[in-house]
Amino acid sequence: MNPTQALSSQVAAVTGAASGIGFACAQAMILAGAQVVLIDRDAPALAKAREALGAAALPLVLDLLDPAQCAAMTERILELTGRLDVFHANAGLYVGGDLIDANDDAIDRMLNLNINVVMKNVRGVLPHMIARGRGDIIVTSSLAAHFPTPWEPVYASSKWAIDCFVQTVRRQVFKHGIRVGAISPGPVITALLADWPAEKLAEAKTNGSLLEASEVAEVVLFMLTRPRGMTIRDVVMMPTQFDL
């Protein structure tokens, strides 16, 4: 098969798809031949993403922190496409800095989106994938899931939790032909870095210790295009110059 059409005839959905890693992954999937539902709460940004990506991109405005909209996600996807082969749970928030300075509402919002929403979204798509006897689920985790980064204890804790979720759910559903994996990049040039401690961000920029979202997308596409008998469960990727 032509590698540029490795996902030909497949349907994917990506949360947090209007920008950053989500947009880059949606773009890579479309270039590989897939039709992709772009899920985001930012309607203007989704419209721009749809314009950039073309007719294979189907925008779906959803606020996943709204319980009713979150619960309706799978139904809304299937209304647009009729089926779902790939689900990429990518949407997330960041809370960094010292725990003593963290805001309670910000902690709740981040943990809800980074953990609860991911679990609910994956649970939502599983019945459809189980009925079809196949599917791919990718979760955007973080290098912080594998190393206790001292400048982001709240964020790192959310990613440690979701890494456990990926590993345990994979063991429950592989018998149904469903692959579950996590991509754990180090610092990526996205809007989330705006919340990094200023000194850490300046250091990373100076050292060239940042990844591009497109580089993450290339690895996600690699995970999705392995033979069905192979699951890439965890990929940790980081800039060569990143000191951890």
Count of structural domains, the chain: 1
Distance, C-alpha 34 to centroid of its chain = 17
In a domain, 243, yes or no: no
Residues with a catalytic annotation lie at 155
Q: In CATH, what number is assigned to the domain containing residue 168?
A: 3.40.50.720
Range of the domain at 149: 3-237
Percent of the chain whose pLDDT exceeds 70:
89
In a domain, 242, yes or no: no
Is 213 part of a structural domain of the chain?
Answer: yes
Model confidence pLDDT, tens digit, residues 78-108: 999 999 999 999 999 999 889 999 999 999 9
227 within domain boundaries: yes
Q: Which residues contact 206 (CB under 8 A, 6 or more apart)?
A: none
Q: What is the pLDDT of residues 99-143, one digit of tens each?
A: 999 999 999 999 999 999 999 999 999 999 999 999 999 999 999
Q: What is the dihedral angle through the alpha carbons of 218, 62, 10, 174, rounded to the nearest 10 degrees?
A: 80
Q: Where are the beta strands (DSSP E) in the chain?
A: 11-15, 35-40, 57-61, 86-89, 135-140, 178-185, 234-237
Q: What is the pTM of this model?
A: 0.91
What strands lie across the sheet with 234-237, from one edge to the other? 57-61, 35-40, 11-15, 86-89, 135-140, 178-185, 234-237
* CA-to-CA separations, 80 to 12, 13, 50, in angstroms, rounded: 11, 11, 15
